[in-house]
Every structure is written in structure tokens, then in C-alpha cells.
Amino acid sequence: MLRIAILGCGARGRTYASMMGQLKERYQIMATCDLVESRAREAASHATEEIPVFTNDEAFFQQGKVADLLIIATQDRNHYGHALRAMELGYDILLEKPAAQTLEQCEHLDQVAKEKGRKIGLCFVLRYTPFYRAVRDFLDSGRLGKVISMHASEGVEPYHQAHSFVRGHWAKTGDCTPMILAKCSHDTDLLCWFADSEIKHVSSYGRLEFFNKKNAPQGAPMRCSDGCEHRSTCMYDAHHYLGEKRRWLRMVMDGSETATDEQIMNFIQTSPWGRCVFHCDNDAVDHQVISGEMKNGVSVTFSMTAFDLGRSIEIYGTKGSLKGGLPWQVAGAHELWFRDHSTGEKEDVPVIHADEIGYAGHGGGDFGIIDSLDKLFGDSGILSPGLDGLAGHQFALLAERDRLSHV
């Protein structure tokens, strides 16, 4: 039985708590903490019995070590301090990505973890999806031969970009982390994982091109609810939260599931999510490309855009190539193909669909990582002391450093 405490019970922390609630025979939630009491209480409701609920990180840490593992799912800017404090108390940590805001901080976490013999796993949930697991297994089969180069892409999707990276938590990079870390560290992690290597040289370009004042329709007010005359034609109109985009509110509005239309209107009129997407204070990029070379010679390219949906991966080996993706991120949409260079034949590579094994969220990765916690952190867990996944963060942060040198 792995005993787990949760610090930060927002959208992510509560998702993990509810999944642990489905695995009560293996995981015991010991304590929860969030500045917003109702969130901490909701996470605690998945424990087997009444547990301590904290509304202050200091009070939580003052209890000492109350579990084997601490899940840290506070916001990006809190991770470094919370992780250091947790390691002082002797916790192993499942840390939400990104690990920290700078390369130096990430490397420091790794160093402290190694010195103290603590394990930090990052929530790189995509590694735990059936799709990317199938890619890794195919690589391990040796059928691709020697991997020479790789290409990956991520389409964030325009409304998702607007919700999270224009109006939302990750819009102002100084308060959180740059887009390439906040959103694409999954991808840089996967590229390192598939190449079995770390980045050596990297260059990157990208900017915020669309979601800014210069693209505002004429006369668009600061808020969609301020009588915007473009409401009926604007795909970013915040009133969509009343209808088909309502599910997005779950991540940012407490009680949205049971809120009345009047309460949602009030949210649109007063919260950051009601602002015109062309009149926000965002600086997160809406497109970025990377090209690089890994230490073992594998070359990699990656492209992120707000204006597509889904991830793809192409791996080119001496014996064959593997291509596939999560095109529309819906159940049943995983596709993966192998081309054998010697025969020219193409075959479908089977991927178990996440919904078939009860996996949900992030292509099955959210449940996948929780399902793997005891294999990672248990008595004979596979993680060793240090920050697992540091290589992907180094890749992303070095790419960002290069991008900034061009703008």
C-alpha cells in the first residue's frame, strides 16, 4: 500500500485524487492541501477514511512527513519551492510538470534529490498512454534498426490555446513557464525517451503572432460581454462557455458543473476568461519550431502550433520508419504505421485504445501514471534518486533560450 499526500488540489490534483479513489486497494490518500478549502476537501473525499485537510502549505509541511509520496500539483511557479521543502522532510515526489521555472532550478532539484536519495517523478503522462507505450515497445523490438532522426508535432487547438495560453494560467510566461516548457515539455521528454539520449545542439524560432491587439476586429471591446459587435462570428467569443465550451470551465471555475447560466455569465463578466483574446496581457507564443541534435547523433525536429489539433511522431530508422499520432485526440483515433525499408511494405502497428482498458484523460496517460505509481515509487520501484525526466526539460529550456536570442 503506497501512502500518498496531495499538495495543490486544482484541476490536476483532483483528477489524480479521483483516480486514486478507484485504486483504494493499492493507494491510501493521507492528507490534502489547497489554498481553496473546497478543492482540498473534494480531493480528500476520495480517501478511504476521514483525513487531515490543510488550506496552507506551511501548516501542511509542519506536520512532517505524513506519507511515502507527495503529489505536488500546485502552479508552475510553486513547484521548485514546494519540491525542495518536501525533500527536506524526506518525501519522494510525483511533481507536476514543469519541474521548475528555470534550467538552473531544474538541475538543482536533480542535484538535491540525488544528494538526499529522493526520487522525483514528473507527470509526463504521455509516456503512460497506450499510444506512446506502443511506440516505445516498437523501438525496443529493434525492427526500426538504428534510429537516425525523428520529427514530432503538436497542435494545441485554437480554443485550447485561447483558454489556457491567452486568457488562462499559462498566458504570462513570467508568472509560469514558457510555452515550450508549459505545454511541449511532454514532447521534448518523449523525444529524449525515444532517442535514449539528451540534447546537444538546439535552435528554435517562434513568436506570438495572432493573439494580440493588432489582430483585434475593429471596435472589439476588452470583454466579450461588453457589447462586442463581432460576437456572432468570433470563434473565441467567451459566451461559448455557456454552451459547447462549458467543459473547459471545470479547470478554472469552482462549481462549474452545477453552475447556473447566470453564474457562468457572471464569471464571463468578471474573470480573465471573459476577456477578448486580442486584448489580453499574454506573451506565450502561438507557434514555435525546434531543430536539434542529440548527444548520440540522432537529429530531431519539432513543431508546435496553436492552429491544429493533436500530436504526431515520425521515427526514421535504418531498417524502417514508424509514423503515427493522436490525430483528433478522441477514442479510437490512434494510428501507427511501420514501413519496412527492405520490402517496401507498410503495416499497421496495433495500439490498445485507452478507453478499452478504462484509461482516461490525456489519451489515457492520467490514469496510466496513477496506475504506475507503485511500480515507480514502491519498495522495488524503478525510479532511482534524482529528477526523472530532466533531459526533456533541458531540451525545452535550451530551445527557449535560443528562441529568445532571435526575437
Ligand X SMILES: NC(=O)c1ccc[n+]([C@@H]2O[C@H](COP(=O)([O-])OP(=O)(O)OC[C@H]3O[C@@H](n4cnc5c(N)ncnc54)[C@H](O)[C@@H]3O)[C@@H](O)[C@H]2O)c1
List binders of ligand X among 273-292 (CB under 6 A). Answer: none
Interface with ligand X (CB under 6 A), residue total 26
Residue from 16, 30, 61, 74 touching ligand X (CB under 6 A): that is 74
The residue type at 393: H
Q: Which is nearer to ligand X, 34 or 400 (CB)?
A: 34
Q: Which is nearer to ligand X, 73 or 180 (CB)?
A: 73
Does 75 engage in binding with ligand X (CB under 6 A)? yes
Place of cell 534529490: 113
Binding mask 42-71 for ligand X (x = CB under 6 A): ---------------x--------------
Q: Which is nearer to ligand X, 55 or 312 (CB)?
A: 55
Phi-psi region of 145 (alpha: psi -120 to 50; beta: other; left: phi over 0): left
List binders of ligand X among 178-197 (CB under 6 A). Answer: 182
Distance, in Å, from the CA atom of 121 to the CA atom of 140, rounded to the nearest integer, reads 22
Q: Which is nearer to ligand X, 157 or 293 (CB)?
A: 157
Contact 44, 19 (CB under 8 A): no
Q: For the chain, what's the residue count?
A: 407
Spatial CA neighbour of 314 closest among 199, 191, 204, 201: 191
List binders of ligand X among 211-270 (CB under 6 A). Answer: 251
Q: Which stretch binds ligand X (CB under 6 A): 3-11, 143-151, 195-203, 234-242?
A: 3-11
Does 173 engage in binding with ligand X (CB under 6 A)? no
Spatial CA neighbour of 172 closest among 56, 275, 283, 328: 283
Q: Which is nearer to ligand X, 325 or 365 (CB)?
A: 365
Spatial CA neighbour of 340 closest among 357, 356, 319, 324: 319
Residue from 4, 19, 29, 34 touching ligand X (CB under 6 A): that is 34
Q: Which stretch binds ligand X (CB under 6 A): 34-42, 273-281, 311-319, 339-347?
A: 34-42
Residue from 69, 73, 135, 264 touching ligand X (CB under 6 A): that is 73
Distance, in Å, from the CA atom of 299 to the CA atom of 15, rounded to the nearest integer, reads 36
What three-state secondary structure class fits 275? strand
Measured distance between the N- and C-terminal CA atoms of the chain, rounded to whole angstroms: 51
Question: What angle do helix axes 37-44 and 11-21 make, rounded to 10 degrees?
Answer: 20
Spatial CA neighbour of 115 closest among 88, 82, 86, 78: 88
Does 393 engage in binding with ligand X (CB under 6 A)? no
Distance of closest approach, residue 243 Cβ to ligand X, in angstroms: 22
Distance of closest approach, residue 325 Cβ to ligand X, in angstroms: 17
Distance of closest approach, residue 126 Cβ to ligand X, in angstroms: 8
Residue 346: other Cβ atoms inside 10 A: 12
For binding to ligand X (CB under 6 A), which residues are involved?
7-13, 33-36, 39, 57, 73-76, 78, 96-97, 123, 125, 169, 182, 251, 362
